[in-house]
Amino acid sequence: MKITVVGTGYVGLVTGVCLSDLGHDVVCVDIDEKKIAALKQGTVPFYESGLQELLQRGIDEDRLRFTTSIAEGAQHAHVIFIAVGTPSDEDGSADLSAVLAVGDTLAPYLQKDKKTYIVIKSTVPVGTSELVAQAIREKAPQATFEMVSNPEFLREGAAVKDFMNPDRIVVGAESKEGHDILKALYIGLERAGRPIVYTNIKSAEIIKYAANAMLATRISFMNMLSELCEKEGGDINHIARGIGLDGRIGPRFLHAGVGYGGSCFPKDVKAVTRTLAAKDCAAELLLAVDSINKHQRKRFIERILSTIEVAHKRIAVWGLAFKPRTDDMREAPAVDVIKALKKAGAQIVAFDPVAQENAQAILPDVTFVRKAYDAVTDADALIIMTEWDEFRGIDLEKVYSVMKQPLIFDGRNVYELETMKRHNFRYISIGRPEVKP
């Protein structure tokens, strides 16, 4: 099938590249000229494992092209995905300006005698497809088109794998043709056993927010209990195992830590809260999820500042991205923690395997080093903000020997308490007893 994807960010690019790998003929459109120039050269403008190879294959085999011209994109295909950003507005609601702008620029190219399917992949509040359709109808009353909702559930860091092996695909449409067109598009995945949920547009729009709000709720739930564990001497990892073995609960997404970040959970929780409130529905649950998340970051910072006088001290930070295997710094908890420590006079030396370049842009007064060991050398404390695998397997004896003081604050519970005891660290983690040397 001929497909156009508008927006080549984490979601749009993965969608375009993976659809081309599934055999479709794909044109990707973006307004960012630099990004498109890089993509034309076969360069992925962000870190995502496995994407580079598929991108090159798509280009080499002539199934994947890039352009800044929406006209070219509109003329190429009768299935057009919108995958642009929907960041938080000042009041927390989703800023739909980019989605609406795409509808606006597409409208003049939509034809009367050839039906176009406009598929919203961006995460948008319930009712957005209708808004886009209205805007297009006003601008192009003759156009023949149908809206479809196909929200994306991929995780940065595992995006290609998730796109190619999704737990489910959700397709919201108001007609059988709308469902069938996406069924044809995803036929390869459906044949491989991946379930497709067919529903109407509004349910599909709600499903995406429901998934992220539920996952964020599980994280905040465990973080809430982590505070109790710290005060009463419990171990949150044992609580997670104790409830996770209950088949009704399940073990995943029960990890306590310094709180969720990234480009999705914080903004999506806020957006769905706004939608609930605007529709006069109870929103208290998700207000609490957001407020516990903020409280968790604040608590972690306070714990550090009440344990060590950081002024003029060298403080190492391992991990900057909001989670491992990505270079995405949007809403990364490391930013808040580093800013608070800087304000208290600390000298920060940071290391992240892939996010340093992006972090540099937002954290100008931080020293970045190329190796984890270089960050901890002569450090008065180490703060772990992202659970990269390489930190799990690090030589702790060496870390101990190069640090000025063997003090670790672990915002991701990377290490076993026993291991830290054995290595003589003072180790303060989330929701677990402090280890003292």
From residue 125, give the alpha-carbon distance in Å to each of 63, 149, 263, 384.
32, 11, 16, 35
30 binds ligand NAD (CB under 6 A): yes
Query: Which residue minimizes CB distance to ligand NAD?
Result: 9
123 binds ligand NAD (CB under 6 A): yes
Minimum CB separation from ligand NAD for residue 268, in Å?
7
Is the separation of the CB atoms in 262 and 156 below 8 Å?
yes
Q: Examine the residue annotation and report whether 229 is marked as an active-site residue of this protein.
A: no
**Number of residues counted as binding ligand NAD (CB under 6 A):** 26
Check residue 156 and report its DSSP letter.
T
**Cβ-Cβ contacts under 8 Å for 316 (sequence gap 6 or more):** 348, 349, 350, 351, 375, 376, 379, 381, 382, 383, 403
Site mask for ligand NAD (CB under 6 A), range 124-153, x = bound: ----------------------------x-
Could you say which of 59, 64, 74, 83 contacts ligand NAD (CB under 6 A)? 83
In terms of CB distance, is 98 or 135 closer to ligand NAD? 98
The per-type count for the chain, helices as H runs and strands as E runs, is: 19, 14
In this chain, which stretch among 30-38, 331-339, 361-369, 397-405 interacts with ligand NAD, using CB under 6 A?
Answer: 30-38
Three-class DSSP category at 428: strand
Minimum CB separation from ligand NAD for residue 210, in Å?
13
For 170, half-sphere exposure in the C-beta direction (CA atoms, 13 angstrom radius) is 24
Could you say which of 5, 96, 154, 321 contacts ligand NAD (CB under 6 A)? 154
Site for ligand NAD, residues 249 to 268, rule: CB under 6 A: 263-264
Q: Residue 126, by phi and psi: left (phi above 0), alpha (psi -120 to 50) or beta?
A: beta
Candidates 18, 28, 229, 264; catalytic one: 264
Site for ligand NAD, residues 31 to 60, rule: CB under 6 A: 31-32, 35
174 binds ligand NAD (CB under 6 A): no
DSSP 350-399: EE-TTTHHHHHHH-TT-EE-SSHHHHHTT-SEEEE-S--HHHHTS-HHHH
29 binds ligand NAD (CB under 6 A): yes
93 binds ligand NAD (CB under 6 A): no
Q: Return the closest-CA partner of residue 165 out of 191, 185, 144.
A: 191
Query: What are the backbone angles phi and psi of residue 134, rounded to the nearest 5°?
Result: -60, -45
In terms of CB distance, is 35 or 432 closer to ligand NAD? 35
State the residues that interact with ligand NAD by CB under 6 A.
6-12, 29-32, 35, 83-86, 98, 101-102, 122-123, 152, 154, 156, 263-264
Active site members: 264
